[in-house]
Amino acid sequence: MDADQFIHLAAGLTGTPVKDVTATDRAILAGLLGDDTRPIGHSQLNELLLLVNKDRMERAFFDYFFAGSTTVGTLGAGVLKFQTLAMLRYGNFIHAYRTLAGIASVSALKADLAEWAAEPADLNARFVERSPKLVDIDLIPRERTSLVGYISAAEVVAEGERCAFLRARLPAADAVPGATWPEFEEAVLAAAGVSERPALKVLLANYLKRSTGATVAQFAAHLESVAPVLEGNATQLASVRATAMRNQDIYLTWDHMDVYFATSMRKRWEFEDLFDFVNGLMADPALVALNLRHFDPTQAFTKDRVDKGLVESLMLKRAKCTVYSVQDTDTLGKDSELAATLAQGKPVIAYVPSIDVETRAAQLVAEDPATVQDRLRFVLYADDQFAQSVSAEDFAFVRGFQAIELFERERTWRTVPDPETVAAFRAAHGADLARLCRIVASAEARIYDRRARTLKVSHPLGIQVNLATGVANGVLVVRTIPQCADLLRRVVTNSLEFELQDSPSMWYLEEKVSGCVYRVVSKDRKLTNCFWNFYRRPSG
């Protein structure tokens, strides 16, 4: 090691440039540091620091960061360990060195480093040895999770009420055969509230399209067959809601809460996708032994929006980590949960699914065609480069394939399965449906790839400041469930690994699993000085 290399290390250790080193001091440094195998003890390192006009350190600092003994050639490893922990705990080097270098004991130094000094093996053992849950939630099945949502449930209630309303407006049984459809429709719309008239008009029109020439008597028979299904939906909704409210009470009483899942769900498949992700993640071998506890929004329900906000705020406060699921839509609620987590100085893992086009296309083909049409609307909205990304033939095909739009639009009941109609549609349009599903899958892959790049590189929420400490906190983006499980395990056991990068404008810690920026220290001296002067100043 030469004098310039040591001066660089001393600046990195203390966070400030080395000034006014004389030629004599440089010559002494060159003589002392020429042999990389030369042992360097605590007092000797202090003497080297004083030679370059830097403050000395207490023995505890040396023992913790330089392992009690070191050589000239390994000094850099101790400085790197300090810089990494300084960025994680304090967000800068100057305050970190001034704070830690003066602490008299290793135990007190670890206490100041807080959770960043915890040993991964100790944390792992603590999770493994946890007591089992006294009461667990009742898992709501995948296909019913959408019933904990407000929009999906509203559709179930609305369709049940419309069926009951239509049945009540049917003529007396002995008059049904003689009733005309125009008279019946006129009576229905006259009796309905203004807000319900458009929906009822569409419902009646769709029935007539599917049952050309149907009479009021036939419609009455149709309602008789549909009513039990809709009543069953309402019963199922009440049962799922009761389970979800009980689950929420259980979540509230758990003594541990480790992971919060931030998401936005409106459509049925969004609930099902999240269910698959959460259960796949928590069943990963990397996590099972840790006995982690998590809040799953597909399993909980609150009637009151204010109470819902309070519940989720509490979970965000208690959880050690938020897993942000990047789905079809980003919403104020989900983005707020991401920002609130970072503002507490806690990690956010953003899961952006990596789409295999062929696998995804096969999944879409198996869906209800109405779902495929809905997803097509999503990609047309979310992919602003759609027209430029597909061939002219595919673009013309998407615009011209009206059959699936009519299928989705002309359903009489949205909450009543109609397997015969679905089977008939697939039989008539199977090749076109497969082509459309591949186009949609390709667009989804582009959308999620772009979102992953945005979150890693340019999203304004990608770096947030911990409001309590001023430490800049970054989002960790992953693309697969095993990658997410590995990263989550590392987060809760304090075993994250980093590369310290030194760019012209900043130092930053790059987390190894995700390749994302996790901490930053600006090299702008004006910004740094003003930021920490005002940030550490008492409010008021």
Element (H, E) at 532: helix 525-535
The arithmetic mean of pLDDT across residues 333-348, rounded, is: 86
Residue 527: predicted pLDDT:
92
Buried b (16+ CB within 10 A) or exposed e, 71-109: ebebbbebbbebbbbbbbbbbbbbbbbebbbebeebeeb
Least confident segment among 182-191, 288-297, 321-330: 321-330
Dmax (CA) for the chain in angstroms is 116
The CA angle 333-339-344, to the nearest 5 degrees, is: 125
Q: Please give the single-letter amino acid code of residue 481.
A: I
pLDDT band at 97 (very low <50, low <70, confident <90, very high): very high
* Whole-number pLDDT of residue 265: 80
Of 336, 341, 308, 344, the C-alpha closest to 322 is 341
CB 357 within 8 A of CB 365: no
Residue with token string 């104020």: 332
Look at residue 332 in the predicted model and tell me its pLDDT.
59
Residue 329 has what pLDDT?
Answer: 56
pLDDT tens digits, one per residue of 1-14 = 999 999 999 999 99
Give 372-391 pLDDT, tens digit per residue. Answer: 998 998 888 888 888 888 99
Residues 6+ apart with CB under 8 A from 143: 272
Closest-CA residue to 358 (of 436, 442, 447): 442
What pLDDT does 68 receive? Answer: 67
pLDDT tens-digit map of 460-498: 667 888 888 899 899 999 999 999 999 999 999 999 999
Residue 153 — very low, low, confident or very high, per pLDDT cuts 50/70/90? Answer: confident
- Collapse the DSSP code of 394 into the 3-class scheme (helix H, G, I; strand E, B; otherwise coil) and give the result: helix
The 3-state DSSP class for residue 517 equals: strand
Residue 227 — φ and ψ, nearest 5°? Answer: -55, -45
Residue-wise pLDDT tens digits, 269-299: 889 999 999 999 999 999 999 999 999 999 9
Its pTM stands at 0.89
In whole angstroms, what is the distance from residue 29 CA to residue 75 CA?
Answer: 14
Tokens (6 digits) for 230? 């809709």
Write the single-letter amino acid at 205: A
Segment 103-120 shows an average pLDDT of 96
| H or E, element range at 106 | helix 106-113
Q: What is the mean pLDDT of the chain?
A: 91
Q: What stretch of H or E contains 510? A: strand 506-511
Give the percent of the chain with pLDDT over 70: 97
Burial of 393 (0-12, 13-18, 19+ CB in 10 A): exposed
Query: How do the domains of the chain map onto residue ranges?
Result: 3-117, 150-238, 357-457
Q: Copy the structure tokens of residue 97.
A: 């060195």
Answer yes or no: is pLDDT of 540 > 60: no
User: What pLDDT does residue 330 have?
Assistant: 57
Instruction: Give 41-70 pLDDT, tens digit per residue.
Output: 999 999 999 999 999 999 999 999 998 668
Is a pLDDT exceeding 80 seen at residue 333? no
- How many CB atoms within 10 Å of residue 518? 21
Per-residue model confidence as pLDDT tens digits over 188-247: 999 999 999 999 999 999 999 888 889 999 999 999 999 999 999 999 999 999 999 999
Q: What is the CA radius of gyration of the chain?
A: 31
Q: Which helix (H) or strand (E) holds 293?
A: none
By the 10 Å C-beta count (0-12 exposed, 13-18 middle, 19+ buried), 59 is classed as middle
pLDDT at 344: 92
Structure confidence at residue 147 as a pLDDT band (50, 70, 90): very high
User: Cα separation of 299 and 138, whole Å?
Assistant: 8
Burial 188-214 (b: 16+ CB within 10 A, else e): beeebeeebeeebeebbeebeeeeeee
| HSE-up of residue 505 (Cα within 13 Å, Cβ side) | 1
Please check the confidence at residue 513 and state whether its pLDDT lies above 60. Answer: yes
The predicted pLDDT at position 357 comes to 96
Is the pLDDT at 99 greater than 90, yes or no?
yes
- DSSP secondary structure, 142-162, as one string: GGGGGGGSHHHHHHHHHHHHH
High-pLDDT (> 90) share of the chain, %: 74
